[in-house]
Amino acid sequence: MGIKFQSEEWIKEFQSQMNASEVFEKAGKGFVGDWVFIVEADAAYPETIYFFISLSHGKCPDAAMLASENEREAQYVVRAPFSTWREVIEGKLDPIRGMMTGKLKLKGNLAKVMRYVKAANEMMECVMRVPTDFGA
């Protein structure tokens, strides 16, 4: 049984996985930025979900569910339909490739993100370690 995707418990477990990762800590040294992830409603899921994470030098000091995309200031905003996010979380879509092809729409400094590809890849490894229940 997994943790419900659209829950505070899920985002806190994702935060915990990142903070426990030595690979993420090393790869993320020097990177600081706040992120809002927008999971848009689609045929597979009926409502839009908003997550926030703060990254600071290989750690995630803050993570939370949001009521809207403007609830917190963020240098990076990534949006995609629920089905696309599910592919990312299940390891079927590389997030950097998703951004390059427009499946994941990034608002923010892509060049800076590209300097931390190893950290981004480890973030995805961390999210895949969260036992996720995608049920509506």
Q: Say if 133 falls within a structural domain.
A: no
Is the C-alpha dihedral spanning 96, 117, 82, 68 positive or negative? Answer: negative
pLDDT of residue 96: 84
pLDDT band at 99; cut points 50, 70, 90: confident
How many structural domains does the chain have? 1
Q: Say if 38 falls within a structural domain.
A: yes
Q: Say if 23 falls within a structural domain.
A: yes
Q: Say if 136 falls within a structural domain.
A: no
Q: Say if 83 falls within a structural domain.
A: yes
Query: pLDDT, tens digit, for every residue of 47-94?
Result: 999 999 999 999 999 999 999 999 999 999 999 999 999 999 998 998
pLDDT of residue 14: 96
Statement: residue 136 has pLDDT above 70? no
pLDDT of residue 95: 86
Q: Say if 75 falls within a structural domain.
A: yes
Amino acid at 37: F
Question: What pairing do the DSSP bridges indicate for beta strands 3-4 and 59-66?
Answer: unpaired
Q: Say if 21 falls within a structural domain.
A: yes
Q: Say if 32 falls within a structural domain.
A: yes
pLDDT band at 135; cut points 50, 70, 90: confident
| Token pair belonging to 23 | 């690979």
Is-contact 116 32, C-beta < 8 A? Answer: no
How far apart, in whole angstroms, are the C-alpha atoms of residue 8 and residue 134?
14
Query: Residue 121: which domain range?
Result: 3-128
What CATH number has the domain bearing residue 38? 3.30.1050.10
Query: pLDDT, tens digit, for every residue of 7-29?
Result: 999 999 999 999 999 999 999 99
pLDDT band at 121; cut points 50, 70, 90: confident
